[in-house]
């Protein structure tokens, strides 16, 4: 028989406000096995924990029930307390009377009644609990970073500098991400390439970093400390180790009409290409959708001009298998499509562009060699209108826009406006805004400079429509402060498009069993206290894949994610979860049902000898669970038709006892 101590927590007024804690403690006194039932203001405080330890000693307790907040909050705390008091940590049960009771009830009587039932349920379980000891598993001292934008780059560098091996998987032919496409960066206006490319080179030269460019993650198996990952290295038809990056092929390729994605389709590239001069790795890639050799077998010009003999038209996708201890998602973001916003005439006029396109137009390596020229006729625009919040803060049109604020566009629009006025003082610049959101160090000062020093006109109001008329764009919008509707004849309109997570993030999250929010941003384990970890152990988050972010924030988060990874890889062993599945060999009939449902591949079968009737020996096929791999999800226990599979700590009879206690 257990000797159970029950501790009812007030959580200040969080619980005590809607639950009569004294009454709950009193009512639970008479439950089977209970030898002590009491209440206290803050059980998790040092004093509260001391109280538990004393009680264990004084009353010779063998099990504890803490009626408090969610086990997600403090189960670990109270398990530690139990261990310190000398009882097995798995003899502790939490009755969640806060999140699932006091916070959702208004009526004291109802709340109290429910808290008593929840407490009784936990007591019923503890009566059947048995001490458990967790197993240990080794840690593979190598990290995988998925996505090679500034987030992935920084995370990889920090982990590698701490002495661990890191692989970066980047789906594009080069690392660098969106930052490589930017011209100058707020709030200091340093050139993006000048601060990014040295980091890209550091990555390339780091002895502990490998870059798998033009590659994607194909499958992920395993668990924290022991992930098995398959990486697909897509065929680029160029031998990476042989190509010198001279670029001769990219000049001679006769297929010249391929939209250049790096310049967002505003100019063309060849079918064989190097995305930009500072690409890492600086290796050519053949675009199989456009290469005449690959499509028709005729051409072969690149192969002829390549002095290094790097071209290989027969290359196939390659699969690489590697083990990792930790995985970091750094898959970044993209601006949303403007196709559905007819009112801004994006698809009707070439002179309505997005802000990212504007970055390329201002960039010395862009399609206009850094001259601000209209895409339609190459003429210098004298009147530019910027529209903020296009598709952001858009609650009504889920199929068009996003409900959230994209966070970076107020700042980059101020940057664009300022840079334009600086370079072209003859150009008049107007910005339509709903709000100007510029919290951040030196951010509001930056925006005010655009207005006060550079004379950018900020108009509070939104643009209702843009209509192309001749070679002008008529921008019709509200000026809410003047209470007027404005019609501005503009030469160029720039839309600050909302940003969204990369489309590949959702399938990746499924592979990683990492959770996402409804907008497909990765969710963190705790929004405040664990912002760079996913709720799935061993998966970490870096950069804009977790939520809209500018570069300073991305880099801080990337470093934080690296610190968490380093903390994990520095361990030699991880203590597992002892609440794993276990099959009763005497009941198992070897049907394979459990193996089929186990998402982690933890179940294997073996032929074992059993004693048959009349001193005979029978050979039977039975299941066994690898405790280091089992995550305790419980799928197998439900699938098993003979009731042989059970979960330690969550045995069927324990669950049934809980249900009985609720229904009593």
Ligand X SMILES: Cc1cc2nc3c(=O)[nH]c(=O)nc-3n(C[C@H](O)[C@H](O)[C@H](O)COP(=O)(O)OP(=O)(O)OC[C@H]3O[C@@H](n4cnc5c(N)ncnc54)[C@H](O)[C@@H]3O)c2cc1C
Please give the residue ranges that form the binding site for ligand SF4 (CB under 6 A). Answer: 388-389, 392-393, 405-407, 409-410, 435, 437, 496, 580-581, 597-598, 600, 602-603, 625, 630-636
For 292, the token pair is: 């005449």
Give CA separation, 244 vs 241, 299, 507, in Å: 8, 22, 35
Residue 581 contact among ligand SF4, ligand X, other proteins, none, beta carbon within 5 to 8 Å by kind: ligand SF4
Characterize the bridge pairing of strands 645-647 and 581-583: antiparallel
HSE, CB side, 13 Å, CA atoms: give it for residue 624.
8
> What angle is formed at CA 408 by the lines to CA 349 and CA 172, rounded to 5 degrees?
75
Residues 396-435 that bind other proteins (CB under 8 A): 396-397, 401, 434
Residue 551 contact among ligand SF4, other proteins, ligand X, none, beta carbon within 5 to 8 Å by kind: ligand X
Site membership for ligand X, residue 264 (CB under 6 A): no
For residues 600 and 614, the answer to whether their CB atoms sit within 8 Å is: no
* Nearest distance in Å: CB 432, other proteins: 8
Residue 598 contact among ligand X, ligand SF4, other proteins, none, beta carbon within 5 to 8 Å by kind: ligand SF4
Binding to ligand X by CB under 6 A, coded x per residue (else -) over 294-333, reads: ------------------------------------xxxx
> What angle is formed at CA 147 by the lines to CA 142 and CA 149, rounded to 5 degrees?
115
Which one, of 348, 431, 448, lies nearest residue 387 by Cα?
A: 431
Residue 625 contact among ligand X, other proteins, ligand SF4, none, beta carbon within 5 to 8 Å by kind: ligand SF4
* Nearest distance in Å: CB 76, ligand SF4: 21
In terms of DSSP H, where are the helices of 475-634? Answer: 505-512, 551-569, 593-597
Site membership for other proteins, residue 325 (CB under 8 A): no
Binding test (CB under 6 A) with ligand X, winner from 28, 52, 69, 182? 182
b/e map 421-440, b = 16+ CB within 10 Å: beebeebbbbbbbbebbbeb
Binding test (CB under 6 A) with ligand X, winner from 461, 543, 590, 634? 543
* Nearest distance in Å: CB 600, ligand SF4: 4
* Residue that has been written with the tokens 């907008």 in this structure: 519
Binding to other proteins by CB under 8 A, coded x per residue (else -) over 480-519, reads: x--x-x----------------------------------
Q: Is 365 exposed, middle or buried (0-12, 13-18, 19+ CB in 10 A)?
A: middle
Which range in 234-242, 389-397, 628-636, 654-662 contacts other proteins by CB under 8 A?
Answer: 389-397
User: Which residues lie closer than 8 Å to 653 by C-beta, 6 or more apart?
Assistant: 128
Give CA separation, 652 vs 282, 386, 409, 419, 436, in Å: 59, 63, 54, 67, 57
**DSSP annotation of 627:** T
Q: What is the DSSP string of 640-663?
A: -TTS-EEETTS-HHHHHHHHHHHH
Binding to other proteins by CB under 8 A, coded x per residue (else -) over 456-475, reads: ----xxxxxx----------
Residue 330 contact among ligand SF4, ligand X, other proteins, none, beta carbon within 5 to 8 Å by kind: ligand X
Residue 483 contact among ligand X, ligand SF4, other proteins, none, beta carbon within 5 to 8 Å by kind: other proteins
For 513, the token pair is: 């069993």
Residue 463 contact among ligand X, ligand SF4, other proteins, none, beta carbon within 5 to 8 Å by kind: other proteins
Residue 631 contact among ligand SF4, ligand X, other proteins, none, beta carbon within 5 to 8 Å by kind: ligand SF4
Q: How far apart are the first and last CA of the chain?
A: 21
Q: How far apart are CA 80 and CA 74, in angstroms?
A: 10
For residues 214 and 173, the answer to whether their CB atoms sit within 8 Å is: yes
Q: How far apart are CA 406 and CA 412, in angstroms?
A: 11
* Nearest distance in Å: CB 277, ligand SF4: 31
* Nearest distance in Å: CB 378, ligand X: 22
* Partner residues linked to 618 by β-bridges: 610
Neighbours of 257 (CB within 10 A): 9
Site membership for ligand X, residue 551 (CB under 6 A): yes
Binding test (CB under 6 A) with ligand X, winner from 41, 337, 504, 642? 504
**C-beta of 431 vs 509, nearer to other proteins:** 431
HSE, CB side, 13 Å, CA atoms: give it for residue 415.
26
For residues 501 and 521, the answer to whether their CB atoms sit within 8 Å is: yes
Which range in 34-42, 164-172, 571-579, 611-619 contacts ligand X by CB under 6 A?
Answer: 164-172
**C-beta of 434 vs 655, nearer to other proteins:** 434
* Residue that has been written with the tokens 């994006």 in this structure: 346
**C-beta of 141 vs 171, nearer to ligand X:** 171
Site membership for other proteins, residue 478 (CB under 8 A): yes
Site membership for ligand X, residue 148 (CB under 6 A): yes
Contact footprint for other proteins (CB under 8 A): 343, 389, 393-397, 401, 434, 460-465, 476-478, 480, 483, 485
Contact footprint for ligand X (CB under 6 A): 146-152, 169-172, 177-179, 182, 185-186, 216, 330-333, 335, 355-356, 359, 408, 412, 415, 502, 504, 508, 543-544, 549-552, 554
């Amino acid at each position: 028989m257990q000797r159970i101590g029950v501790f009812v927590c007030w959580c200040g007024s969080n619980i005590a406000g809607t639950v009569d804690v004294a009454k709950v403690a009193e009512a639970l006194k008479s439950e089977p096995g209970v030898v002590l039932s009491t209440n206290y203001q803050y059980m998790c405080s040092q004093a509260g924990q001391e109280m538990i330890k004393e009680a264990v000693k004084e009353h010779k307790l063998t099990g504890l029930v803490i009626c408090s907040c969610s086990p997600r909050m403090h189960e670990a705390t109270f398990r530690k307390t139990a261990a310190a008091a000398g009882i097995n940590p798995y003899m502790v049960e939490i009755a969640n009377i806060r999140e699932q009771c006091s916070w959702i009830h208004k009526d004291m009587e109802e709340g109290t009644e429910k808290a008593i039932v929840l407490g009784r349920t936990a007591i019923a379980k503890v009566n059947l609990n048995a001490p458990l000891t967790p197993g240990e598993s080794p840690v593979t001292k190598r990290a995988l970073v998925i996505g090679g934008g500034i987030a992935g780059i920084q995370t990889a560098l920090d982990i590698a500098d701490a002495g661990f091996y890191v692989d970066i998987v980047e789906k594009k032919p080069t690392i660098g991400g969106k930052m490589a496409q930017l011209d100058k960066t707020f709030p200091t206006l340093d050139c993006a390439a000048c601060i990014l490319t040295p980091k890209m080179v550091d990555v390339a030269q780091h002895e502990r970093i490998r870059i798998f460019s033009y590659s994607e993650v194909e499958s992920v198996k395993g668990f924290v400390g022991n992930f098995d990952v398959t990486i697909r290295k897509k065929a680029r038809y160029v031998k990476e180790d042989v190509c010198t990056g001279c670029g001769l092929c990219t000049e001679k390729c006769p297929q010249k009409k391929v939209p250049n994605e790096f310049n967002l389709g505003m100019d063309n590239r060849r079918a064989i290409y190097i995305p930009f001069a500072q690409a890492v790795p600086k290796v050519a890639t053949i675009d199989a959708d456009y290469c005449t050799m690959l499509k028709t077998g005729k051409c072969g010009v690149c192969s002829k001009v390549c002095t290094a003999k790097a071209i290989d038209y027969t290359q196939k996708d390659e699969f690489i298998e590697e083990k990792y201890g930790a995985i970091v998602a750094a898959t970044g973001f993209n601006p949303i499509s403007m196709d559905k916003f007819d009112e801004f005439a994006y698809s009707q006029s070439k002179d309505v562009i997005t802000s990212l396109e504007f970055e390329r137009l201002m960039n010395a390596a862009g399609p206009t060699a850094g001259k601000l020229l209209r895409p339609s006729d190459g003429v210098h625009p004298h009147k530019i209108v910027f529209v903020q919040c296009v598709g952001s803060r858009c609650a009504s049109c889920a199929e068009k826009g996003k409900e959230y604020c994209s966070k970076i566009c107020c700042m980059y629009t101020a940057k664009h406006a300022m840079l334009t006025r600086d370079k072209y003082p003859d150009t008049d610049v107007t910005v339509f805004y709903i709000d100007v959101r510029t919290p951040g160090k030196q951010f509001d000062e930056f925006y005010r400079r655009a207005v006060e020093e550079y004379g950018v006109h900020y108009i509070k109001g939104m643009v209702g429509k843009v209509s192309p008329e001749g070679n002008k764009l008529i921008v019709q919008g509200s000026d809410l402060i003047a209470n007027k509707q404005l019609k501005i004849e503009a030469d160029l309109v720039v839309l600050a498009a909302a940003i969204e997570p990369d489309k590949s993030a959702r399938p990746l999250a499924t592979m990683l069993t990492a959770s996402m929010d409804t907008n497909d941003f990765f969710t963190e384990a705790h929004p405040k206290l664990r912002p760079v970890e996913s709720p799935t152990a061993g998966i970490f988050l870096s950069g804009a894949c977790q939520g809209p972010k500018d570069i300073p924030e991305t880099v801080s988060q990337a470093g934080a994610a690296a610190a968490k990874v380093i903390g994990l890889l520095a361990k030699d062993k991880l203590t597992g979860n002892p609440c794993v599945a276990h099959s009763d060999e005497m009941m198992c009939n070897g049907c394979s049902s459990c193996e089929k449902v186990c998402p982690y591949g933890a179940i294997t079968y073996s032929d074992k000898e059993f004693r048959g009737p009349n001193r005979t020996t029978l050979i039977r096929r039975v299941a066994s669970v690898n405790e280091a791999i089992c995550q305790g999800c419980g799928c197998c226990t439900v699938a098993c038709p003979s009731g042989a599979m059970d979960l330690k700590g969550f045995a069927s009879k324990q669950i049934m006892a809980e249900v009985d206690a609720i229904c009593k």
